[in-house]
Amino acid sequence: MSLSRKASCDSHGQDSSYFLGWQEYEKNPYHQLHNPKGIIQMGLAENQLSFDLLESWLASNSDEFGFKTNGVSVFKELALFQDYHGLAAFKNALVEFIATMRGNKIKFDPNKLVLTAGSTSANEILMFCLANPGEAFLLPTPYYPGFDRDLQWRTGAKIVPIHCSSINGFRVTKSALEQAYNRAQMLNLKVKGVFVTNPSNPLGTTMSRNELNLLMDFAINKNVHIVSDEIYSGTVFDSPNFISIAEVVSHRKLEDNNINGRVHIVYSLSKDLGLPGFRVGMIYSNNETLVNAATKMSSFGLISSQTQHLLSHMLFDKQFVCNYIHVNEKRLRKRKDMMVAGFRDVGIRCLKSNAGLFCWVDMRHLLSAYTFEAEKELWKKVLYEVGLNISAGSSCHCSEPGWFRICFANMSEKTLSVAMQRIRAFVGSSGKCGNGRSNQRSTVKTKWVFKLASYDDDREPEDR
Ligand SMILES: Cc1ncc(COP(=O)(O)O)c(C=O)c1O
């Protein structure tokens, strides 16, 4: 008997090189002693830098870990709890945590919050609530490769790319928004909204106030929704500061405008607290109907009450939270600087960034030609010969070949040093892809590299 169309079709979006790289890594993972020639995983946006802080909190709070509160067992309560509204204590703790992390600029109302099994689930639920099958959301490129699956596969919603360019550091511009909107219309797709990731995965940059204002104006004028995935909002380690779309609403006094019911925020503890395995995410919206529907849908992917119990205690611990935020930020900045300096030493530049767990790395000069085929060729060489799993820009739908997302926080400093040594050896030897032809290119740099290389000059979009 055959499976359903959904289960048997390949619209799951998981056949990109992004996921292939993970599979290759699994077959041959690097280990300093047991497999020193193995592949180093640099394609996973995971934060392992502050794990010791979480572990030491657990060690001194063993009660919460052992189903107890003030020495009294809460095992039965937790084992029986299955209300998909979630534990009130946990929602309150989450709201407090987010406020502290964002410098108390915005305080969420726990009643407008829907708990979900990570941002993956939150994003899909939002698509189910906002778009009918065949209706579209506009997404700035490059974007997180998982969105092809999370936003489209089960919901039938469509992604239409907003093509951003290295010329202005991949910033969102008014003309790029309009072009994407027109393209959707030409494809007969009704546009239901714009979906942004702020800070951006894979760019590692926060959206500027100008970009956010543009986005807001666009959503008001076109009468569409804004979804802002703010999963990296606490993973900002340099200026400029993170600005939430919620701050734009209050800054522009739009609370009573219709748009306030069309702005929806996604968050999760997977990145900022480094707990992707705990599956803790949320939707925040001022739209009551949406919150009601999303809460019902969340019953398909709840956070276990055990996890909520443990984290409500951890997040209510102000001293722990403040120390974690401070130390984590410092460690992330140091790690990113280490990677950027390593690349700079071998003539590879990274987009200027201030957030995230990765760098957006410009390897255009290492391509044998300015094509996506050449990018794939380089990606394969780096994976199989150099032994690094990095993510090709094409898997993030970047419209320019030669960019790669490279993660820096999912490994030890020692492993990162090994990775940088491998890169140095690769670039220092033949370096380039595509046999002997490449050596000529190292002396005769092609014109397009220079023409496009003004991306890190911090300019604001010209066409606001
Ligand atoms: C932008 C973005 N959204 C969502 C997710 C999924 O996160 P979660 O583990 O919370 O489902 C990721 C994970 O990498 C991400 O980068």
Name the closest-CA residue to atom 4, ligand 1.
Answer: 119
Give the C-alpha separation, 323 to 358, whole Å: 23
Name the closest-CA residue to atom 13, ligand 1.
Answer: 45
Supply the angle between the helices 305-316 and 88-101 in degrees, to the nearest 10.
40
In which domain, by residue range, is 367 found? 5-51+321-428
Residue 1: per-residue pLDDT: 82
Q: Is 229 a catalytic site residue?
A: yes
CB of 119 closer than 6 angstroms to any ligand 1 atom:
yes
How close is the Cα of 65 to the center of ligand 1, in Å? 26
Which CATH number goes with the domain that contains 95? 3.40.640.10
391: Cα separation from own chain's centroid: 13
Residue 59 lies in a domain: no
Q: Ligand 1, closest atom to CA 120?
A: 11
Which H or E run contains 19? helix 17-27
Q: Do 120 and 215 fall within a single domain?
A: yes
Q: Which of 115, 74, 87, 27 is nearest to 291 (CA)?
A: 115
Q: Do 47 and 138 fall within a single domain?
A: no
Q: Do 162 and 79 fall within a single domain?
A: yes
Q: Do 172 and 196 fall within a single domain?
A: yes
pLDDT digits (tens), the chain, 464 positions: 899 988 888 888 778 888 898 999 999 999 999 999 999 999 999 999 999 999 999 999 987 777 888 888 999 989 888 888 999 999 999 999 999 999 888 889 999 999 999 999 999 999 999 999 999 999 999 999 999 999 999 999 999 999 999 999 999 999 999 999 999 999 999 999 999 999 999 999 999 999 999 999 999 999 999 999 999 999 999 999 999 999 999 999 999 999 999 999 999 999 999 999 999 999 999 999 999 999 999 999 999 999 999 999 999 999 999 999 999 999 999 999 999 999 999 999 999 999 999 999 999 999 999 999 999 999 999 999 999 999 999 999 999 999 999 999 999 999 999 999 999 999 988 545 444 344 444 433 444 443 443 444 343 433 33
Based on the structure, what is the number of domains in the chain? 2
Residue 439 lies in a domain: no
Q: Do 141 and 282 fall within a single domain?
A: yes
Helices (H), 383-457: 413-428, 437-443, 447-451
Q: Do 257 and 201 fall within a single domain?
A: yes
**Which of 231, 245, 265, 390 is the catalytic position?**
231
Which CATH number goes with the domain that contains 349? 3.90.1150.10
Q: Do 281 and 372 fall within a single domain?
A: no
Count of residues in the chain:
464
Residue 351 lies in a domain: yes
CB of 231 closer than 6 angstroms to any ligand 1 atom:
yes
pTM value? 0.92
Residue 234 lies in a domain: yes
CB of 273 closer than 6 angstroms to any ligand 1 atom:
no
Q: Do 404 and 383 fall within a single domain?
A: yes
Name the closest-CA residue to atom 15, ligand 1.
Answer: 144
Structure tokens at 164: 């951003």
Q: Is 107 a catalytic site residue?
A: no
DSSP per residue, 339-364: HHHHHHHTT-EE----BSSEEEEE-G
Residue 399: per-residue pLDDT: 96
Residue 453 lies in a domain: no
How close is the Cα of 271 to the center of ligand 1, in Å? 8
Q: Do 17 and 103 fall within a single domain?
A: no
Question: Apex CA 130: angle with CA 125 and CA 131, to 5°?
Answer: 100
End-to-end CA distance of the chain: 56
Q: Is 181 a catalytic site residue?
A: no
Q: Token match 């067992």: residue?
A: 73
How close is the Cα of 231 to the center of ligand 1, in Å? 7
How close is the Cα of 244 to the center of ligand 1, in Å? 17
Domain boundary among 318, 337, 366: 318
**Which of 229, 232, 265, 455 is the catalytic position?**
229
CB of 144 closer than 6 angstroms to any ligand 1 atom:
yes
Residue 412 lies in a domain: yes
CB of 268 closer than 6 angstroms to any ligand 1 atom:
yes
Q: Token match 């469509």: residue?
A: 158
Q: Ligand 1, closest atom to CA 122?
A: 11
CB of 197 closer than 6 angstroms to any ligand 1 atom:
yes
Q: Do 175 and 269 fall within a single domain?
A: yes
Give the C-alpha separation, 332 to 236, whole Å: 9
Give the C-alpha separation, 245 to 256, whole Å: 15
Q: Do 217 and 359 fall within a single domain?
A: no
Residue 436 lies in a domain: no
CB of 276 closer than 6 angstroms to any ligand 1 atom:
yes
Q: What share of the chain is helix, strand, coil (3-state, %, to 5)?
A: 45, 15, 40
Q: Contact, 324 vs 401, CB < 8 A?
A: no
Beta-carbon count within 10 A of 370 CB: 15
Q: Do 115 and 75 fall within a single domain?
A: yes
**Which of 18, 30, 143, 144 is the catalytic position?**
144
CB of 18 closer than 6 angstroms to any ligand 1 atom:
no
3-state class (DSSP) for residue 159: strand
Q: Contact, 211 vs 172, CB < 8 A?
A: yes
Q: Ligand 1, closest atom to CA 117?
A: 11
CB of 270 closer than 6 angstroms to any ligand 1 atom:
yes
Residue 46 lies in a domain: yes
CB of 229 closer than 6 angstroms to any ligand 1 atom:
yes
